[in-house]
Structure 1
Amino acid sequence: MKYITLLLLGYFFISFNATDYQNNTAEKVKNTTAKRGFKFGVWTSADAKKSDADYTKEFKKYKEGGIDEVLINTGADPKLLKRIVPLATKEGLKVHAWIMAMNRPGDSVALQHPDWYQVSKEGKSCFDNRPYVDYYQWLCPTRKESREHVLHLVEELAKVEGIESVHMDYIRFPDIFLPISLLPKYNLVQDAELPQFDFCYCDECIKAFEKIHHKNPKESHNTSIDMEWKNFRLNAIKAVVDDAYKIAHKHNKQLTAAVFPYPEMADHMVRQRWDKWNIDEVYPMIYHSFYDEEIDWVGYATKQGAADLEHKKTKINTGIYIPGLKNDEELKEAILLAKENGAVGVSFFDGNALSDSNLKTIKETKASLK
Structure 2
Amino acid sequence: MTNRRKFVQNSLLLGLAAPLLPAAAQAALPAASAPKAGWKHWVWTNPDQKDTEAQLAERYRKYYEAGVRGIFFEADSERHFRAAKAQKLEAHRWIWTMNRGEKTLLAAHPEWYAVSRKGESCATHPPYVDYYRWLCPSREEVKQYLEQDYAAALKKDYIDGIHLDYVRFCDVILPVNLWAKYGIVQTSELPEYDFCYCPVCKAAYTAEYGEDIDKVQYPEASPSWRAFRYQRVNEVVRRLTAVARQYRKPITAAVFPTPDIAHRNVKQDWVNWNVSGVCPMIYHGFYKENVTWIGQAVKEGVQALNGKFPLYAGLFPPDFKNDAELAQGIENALRNGAAGVSLFGEVSEAALAALKTASAKARA
| Partner residue in 2 for 1:326 | 321
Change (3 A) 1:288 1:247: same
Percent of residue pairs bearing the same amino acid type: 38
TM (norm. structure 2) is: 0.85
User: Does the alignment pair 1:166 with 2:162?
Assistant: yes
CA distance in 2, matches of 1:150, 1:52: 33
| Partner residue in 1 for 2:294 | 298
- Three-state SS of the structure 2 residue aligned to 1:282 is strand
User: Does the alignment pair 1:356 with 2:357?
Assistant: no
CA contact (8 A) 1:82 1:160 kept: no
Instruction: Please report how far the alpha carbon of residue 109 of structure 1 lies from its aligned counterpart in structure 2 after TM superposition.
Output: 3.3
CA distance in 2, matches of 1:232, 1:206: 10
CA contact (8 A) 1:172 1:271 kept: yes
| Partner residue in 2 for 1:68 | 69
| Residue identity matched to 2:275 | I
| Partner residue in 2 for 1:20 | none
User: Does the alignment pair 1:335 with 2:330?
Assistant: yes
CA contact (8 A) 2:40 2:67 kept: no
1:5-154 alignment, distance < 5 Å: 35-47=36-48, 52=53, 54-74=55-75, 80-106=76-102, 108-154=104-150
| Partner residue in 2 for 1:4 | none
| Partner residue in 1 for 2:358 | 365
More helix by share: 1
Q: Higher RCO, 1 or 2 (CA under 8 Å, sep at least 6)?
A: 2
Instruction: Please report how far the alpha carbon of residue 54 of structure 1 lies from its aligned counterpart in structure 2 after TM superposition.
Output: 5.0
Residues 126-147 of structure 1: per-residue CA shift (max 9 Å, x gap): 1110001111011111111112
Change (3 A) 1:49 1:107: farther
CA distance in 2, matches of 1:293, 1:271: 22
Change (3 A) 1:322 1:111: farther
CA distance in 1, matches of 2:330, 2:61: 22
Instruction: Please report how far the alpha carbon of residue 284 of structure 1 lies from its aligned counterpart in structure 2 after TM superposition.
Output: 0.4
Give RMSD over aligned pairs: 1.9
Q: Of the candidates 245, 250, 258, which is equivalent to residue 249 of structure 1? A: 245
| Partner residue in 2 for 1:346 | 341
CA contact (8 A) 1:42 1:70 kept: yes
Q: Unaligned regions of 5+ residues in structure 1, if any?
A: 1-32, 75-79
- Three-state SS of the structure 2 residue aligned to 1:347 is strand
Residues 29-82 of structure 1: per-residue CA shift (max 9 Å, x gap): xxxx984521121100135565555544543443354422111101xxxxx344
Instruction: Please report how far the alpha carbon of residue 213 of structure 1 lies from its aligned counterpart in structure 2 after TM superposition.
Output: 1.8
| Partner residue in 2 for 1:273 | 269
| Partner residue in 2 for 1:188 | 184
Q: Unaligned regions of 5+ residues in structure 2, if any?
A: 1-33
Instruction: Please report how far the alpha carbon of residue 110 of structure 1 lies from its aligned counterpart in structure 2 after TM superposition.
Output: 4.7
Instruction: Please report how far the alpha carbon of residue 292 of structure 1 lies from its aligned counterpart in structure 2 after TM superposition.
Output: 0.5
CA contact (8 A) 1:284 1:316 kept: yes
| Residue identity matched to 1:210 | T
CA contact (8 A) 2:39 2:67 kept: no
Change (3 A) 1:37 1:110: farther
TM (norm. structure 1) is: 0.84
| Residue identity matched to 1:232 | F
- Three-state SS of the structure 2 residue aligned to 1:123 is coil
| Residue identity matched to 1:355 | S
Residues 152-184 of structure 1: per-residue CA shift (max 9 Å, x gap): 111112212243321100000000100011111
Residues 1-52 of structure 1: per-residue CA shift (max 9 Å, x gap): xxxxxxxxxxxxxxxxxxxxxxxxxxxxxxxx98452112110013556555
- How many residues are treated as equivalent by the alignment? 330
Select the structure of larger CA radius of gyration.
Answer: 1
